[in-house]
Amino acid sequence: MSFTSSHEQQESSRPKITLQSIQQKKGKQRITCLTAYDYPTARLVDEAGIDIVLVGDSLSMVVLGQENTLAITVDEMLHHTRAARRAVRRALVIADMPYGSYHLSSEDALRNAARFIKEAGAEAVKVEGGEKRVGLISRLRDAEIPVMGHIGLTPQSLLLMGGYKVQGRTLGDIEQLMRDAVALERAGVFCMVLEGMPREVAAMITAEVHVPTIGIGAGPECDGQVLVLHDMLNLTFAPHAKFVRQYADVAGNIRQALESYKADVEAGTFPGDQESYHLPADTRSALEHISERKRALRK
């Protein structure tokens, strides 16, 4: 009889995902990526065979209830990356560098990035921005830290962008995005997220660069796709963006379960006999005997 868990069995039948295996998929096999920020969801994502678990700073909004991604700290991101990392056996785990953790100085950026690798077990970090991040990305690479790039709609640029707006709609903007993508590749990213841009632009970038592109709101021609887990499961309270396909209604299921629990407790039908512990037969009959004697003495 075998005592190996299904997680362990899957682990031995599917090899660990590495930077190299992600890169080798370009042009051959689509890459799958989802966010996860804790042990149970990261474990489910990993067991489903998703290639990349991204501990995204979207965590700030969908789990911590903040208005945007700007407020989340390195320590908060580290805490969640550690939890997700503990769950993952096969997928590549990438941690998002939060706003402010790589914007102030390159020493600061290197120190923060190294914490994600050393203290949280991340296998790469993600930074937002194109040409302006070239120097930083090469320094991170020199420090043996693999980097995922992220261009297009970059949520950490919310204040400068004046809202979450689809990027790359004019010829000038398209040229800039192409320059950004090529610059990231030259700087040494091993893949890049393309977020919130017309599919035609994402297709051009995907054809131009040799590293995989992972799209979100960037159409089907990207080398892979990423979604925020809580969006695709409907476990958020904000209206969903156009590009989110809802694969489950977890909020609906949770609501139903909570209503049933409340009704059962109030009606006294939970817990039932099956959900209660019982005395061993000899203790029960001894107890009954004591109660009978007490009743008899009272008469």
Q: Which residues bind ligand KIV (CB under 6 A)?
A: 35, 54, 56-58, 96, 193, 195, 216, 226, 228
Nearer to ligand KIV, 34 or 270 (CB): 34
Q: Active-site residue among 195, 208, 221, 266?
A: 195
Cα angle vertex 64, ends 62, 65, to 5°?
A: 70
- Kindly state the smallest distance separating residue 156's Cβ from ligand KIV, in Å: 9
- What is the rounded CA–CA span in Å between residue 212 and residue 222? 8
SS3 state at 155: helix
* Residue 9 vs 73, nearer CB to ligand KIV: 73
Comparison of 11 and 219: residue with beta carbon closer to ligand KIV: 219
Output the CA torsion sign for 228, 230, 234, 240.
negative
Amino acid residing at 223: D
| 195 noted as active-site residue | yes
Instruction: Judge if the upstream peptide bond of residue 15 is cis by omega within 30 degrees of 0.
Output: no
Distance CA 56, CA 126 (A): 9
The one-letter code for the residue type at 125 is V
Is the bond preceding 271 in cis, omega lying within 30 degrees of 0?
yes
Known catalytic residues are 195
